[in-house]
C-alpha cells in the first residue's frame, strides 16, 4: 500500500484534551502524518504553553479555550475553529468512589465530559464532513469500556470507578451507533481502547513497586504501554486508507483483554 494512504496533508483535526497525557500523543501523531491540529482546554495559560512547546517541532498546531462540558462553549468553539476533517474526542476524567456511595453530581460530571461532549461535537462537526464526503471521528474509550477490571491487579487502588466504567462502555455504544448512521457518507466513526499506559496521570500508580508488579501479571506482554505505542492506532484510523473501517474499537493493551 502506498504511504499516501496514510498522508493527512491538507486535513484539519480537533483533539480535545490534546495538550497532555495520551491526548498529546494523539496530537503529535496526527501532526507527524501531516495534519493541521487544533487542541482545546479550559485553561488558556495551559493551552498557550503547550502550543509554544509543540510549535518547536511542528508548525501546524494551534490551541483555543473551551470547556466542553458546557454546550454553549462547544457551539462557540465549532463556530470559531472552522473546517474540521478529523475529530478526536480524547478529553476524559475518572472519579473514584465505591458503588454504594451516593455520587450523583460526580456521576453527571463524568458522563457529561466522557460521553455527552463527544456526542455534541459529533453532532456539530459531522454534517460538514458528510457534505465533503470525508471525515473521521475517533473516540478515545478504554479497556474499561470492554471489561469490568480485576481488583487483584490493582492492590490498594481497586476498581471503584463506576461512572468511568459506565461512561467508557457508553462511548463505545455511541461509536457503534453513529458509525451506522453515517456509514454511506464517507465518514467513519471508531474508538481506541488503551490499556494501562505510562502517562503523567498514571505515574503515581504505575511507578515501580507492588502495584505495578501486580498489574503486569494481568498483561500477557508483562509490561504497561510506553510512549509512542498509541500513535500508529490513531494514524491508522485517521488515514484515508482506513475508509472501510467503521464502528470498531481498536484495542491497544498488550493483550490484557485476551484473558
- Average confidence (pLDDT) over 87-103: 90
Q: Are strands 135-140 and 61-65 parallel, antiparallel or unpaired?
A: unpaired
Rounded (10°) angle between helices 21-32 and 231-238: 50
The pLDDT of residue 254: 98
Query: What pLDDT digit, counting tens, does each position of 198-223 carry?
Result: 887 777 777 788 889 999 999 999 99
Exposed, middle or buried by CB within 10 Å (0-12, 13-18, 19+), for 164?
Answer: buried
Q: What are phi and psi of 190, to 5 degrees?
A: -140, 170
The confidence score (pLDDT) of residue 241 equals 97
222-247 average pLDDT score: 96
Task: Tell me what pLDDT residue 208 has.
Answer: 87
**Mean pLDDT in residue range 134-163:** 94
Domains and CATH numbers, the chain: 3-244 (3.40.50.720)
SS3 for 56? coil
* Cα–Cα dist 19/2, whole Å: 31
pLDDT digits (tens, 9 = 90+) for 22-76: 999 999 999 999 999 999 999 999 999 999 999 999 999 999 999 999 999 999 9
Question: So what's the pLDDT on residue 4?
Answer: 79
On average, the pLDDT of the chain sits at 94
Q: Please give the pLDDT value at position 236.
A: 98
Please confirm, yes or no, whether 164 is among the known catalytic residues.
yes
The pTM (predicted TM-score) of the whole model is 0.95
pLDDT of residue 139: 98
Strands 36-41 and 12-16: parallel
Model confidence at 2, pLDDT cuts 50, 70, 90, reads: low
Q: How far apart are CA 101 and CA 105, in angstroms?
A: 12
The catalytically annotated residue of 58, 164, 165, 205 is 164
Q: How far is CA 37 from CA 22, 26, 156, 171, 198, in A?
A: 15, 10, 39, 23, 23
| Cell of residue 237, nine digits | 484510523
Amino acid at each position: 500500500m502506498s504511504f499516501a494512504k496514510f498522508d493527512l496533508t491538507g486535513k484539519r483535526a480537533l483533539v480535545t484534551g490534546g495538550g497532555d497525557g495520551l491526548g498529546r500523543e494523539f496530537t503529535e501523531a496526527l501532526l507527524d502524518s501531516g495534519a493541521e491540529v487544533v487542541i482545546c482546554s479550559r485553561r488558556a495559560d495551559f493551552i498557550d504553553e503547550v502550543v509554544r512547546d509543540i510549535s518547536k517541532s511542528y508548525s501546524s498546531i494551534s490551541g483555543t479555550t473551551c470547556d466542553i462540558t458546557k454546550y454553549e462553549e462547544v457551539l462557540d468553539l465549532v463556530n470559531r475553529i472552522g473546517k474540521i476533517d478529523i475529530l478526536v474526542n480524547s478529553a476524559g476524567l475518572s472519579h473514584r468512589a465505591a458503588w454504594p456511595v451516593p455520587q450523583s453530581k460526580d456521576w453527571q460530571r463524568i458522563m457529561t465530559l466522557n460521553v455527552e461532549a463527544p456526542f455534541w461535537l459529533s453532532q456539530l462537526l459531522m454534517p460538514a464532513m458528510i457534505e465533503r464526503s470525508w471525515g473521521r471521528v475517533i473516540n478515545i474509550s478504554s479497556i474499561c469500556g470492554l471489561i469490568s477490571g480485576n481488583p487483584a491487579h490493582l492492590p490498594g487502588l481497586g476498581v471503584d470507578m463506576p461512572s468511568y466504567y459506565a461512561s467508557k462502555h457508553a462511548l463505545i455504544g455511541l461509536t457503534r451507533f453513529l458509525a451506522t448512521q453515517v456509514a454511506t457518507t464517507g465518514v467513519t466513526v471508531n474508538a481506541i481502547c488503551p490499556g494501562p499506559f505510562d502517562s503523567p496521570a498514571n505515574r503515581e500508580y504505575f511507578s515501580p513497586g507492588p502495584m505495578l508488579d501486580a498489574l503486569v501479571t494481568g498483561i500477557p506482554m508483562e509490561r504497561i504501554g510506553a510512549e509512542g505505542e498509541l500513535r500508529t492506532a490513531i494514524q491508522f484510523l485517521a488515514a484515508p486508507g482506513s475508509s472501510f473501517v467503521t464502528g470498531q474499537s481498536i484495542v491497544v493493551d498488550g493483550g490484557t483483554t485476551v484473558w
